[in-house]
Amino acid sequence: MKIPNTIKAPTEKHHCITNLLVLISFMVKRFCNLCIPAPPKIPTFAPRMPRTEVVIEEPGIGPVNYRRRRGLRRLSVRVTARRGVSVSVPYLVSLATARAFVHDKTDWILRAVRQVRQQPTVSEQDPAEVAARIAELRRWAKAEIPARLEALAAAHGFTYNGVTIKKTVSRWGSCSATNHINISLYLMLLPEHLRDFVLLHELVHTRYKNHGPAFHAKMQELCGGREKELSREIRKYAGLPATLG
C-alpha cells in the first residue's frame, strides 16, 4: 500500500527526537522522586500484644497474666486465689499501656494479694464441708434473689426475661443480650446493700448494654450518687468466692 502524499514516513531524525523526549521524561520523574520524600506511614492502631495471653514477671508484684479480650472498653485487674493477678486488656490497647496501668495500681494489687493469701484456700478445707456450704448458699440465693430482683425492677421501672442462679466465681452477675439476668450464688456472701447494688447494676444493663455515660448516670441516680463508693467497696470482696470452691 502506498503512503498518501499528505503523510510523511518517520525519518531517523524523528526517532532521535522521540527517544530524547522519553529520556527527558524519565529523568524528570526520577528527579522528583529523589527530591520529594514519600509521606510517612501513620499507624492505624496501637501495637498489639504478641499473643492473646501472656504472663510477665512484673517487678515488685510477680507474675501477671495479661489476657486480650474483644468487646472491652477499658483495662481491668483482678486478684484471685486461683488465677493470681490477671489483667483484661481491650483489643486495641498496647501491652506497654497495660503494663503501665498495672504499675500505677501496684499498691492496690499488693494489698489485694495479701488479703487473698490470708484467706483459707479450697485445698485447706474439707471437700464435704465446702459442698455443703455451696448447697446452702444456692438454696439461700434461690429463695432470696428472684424476689428481691423482682421488687427492685418494679420499684424502678425495669423489665427482664428471667433470672438464673449460677456458681460463677469470675463475676457477681451478668445480663444477656435478651435481658436474661444471671446471678452468682456467692452474691449471698455480700452485705445486703451490696447485693442490691449488683442487682441494680444488672437491671440497668437491660436498658444500657455498655458502661457508657448513660449507664453510669442511671446508676448514680439509683444509688443516690454513691456508685463509685459502692464500686470501691465491692472490690474488697473480689477474692471471696475462691475460698469456697
- Model confidence at 7: pLDDT above 60: no
Residue 103 lies in a domain: yes
Q: What is the pLDDT of residue 1?
A: 40
The answer to whether residues 85 and 149 belong to one domain is no
* Other beta carbons within 10 Å of 197: 22
Question: What grid cell was written down for 206?
Answer: 437491660
Task: Please name the residue that has the C-alpha cell 452477675.
Answer: 173
Task: Kindly state the average pLDDT of the residues 17-28.
Answer: 65
What is the distance between the alpha carbons of residues 179 and 3, in angstroms, rounded to a whole number?
86
The answer to whether residues 135 and 112 belong to one domain is no
Q: For residue 181, which of 211, 153, 160, 166 has the smallest C-alpha distance?
A: 160
What is the distance between the alpha carbons of residues 197 and 61, in angstroms, rounded to a whole number?
31
Number of domains in the chain: 2
The answer to whether residues 134 and 223 belong to one domain is yes
Residue 238 belongs to domain spanning: 125-243
pLDDT band with cut points at 50, 70 and 90 for residue 3: very low
pLDDT band with cut points at 50, 70 and 90 for residue 171: confident
**pTM for this structure?**
0.55
End position of a domain, from candidates 100, 118, 136:
118
What is the distance between the alpha carbons of residues 190 and 174, in angstroms, rounded to a whole number?
16
End position of a domain, from candidates 118, 137, 157:
118
Residue 29 lies in a domain: no
Q: For residue 153, which of 221, 198, 195, 203 has the smallest C-alpha distance?
A: 203
Task: Kindly state the average pLDDT of the residues 22-49.
Answer: 53
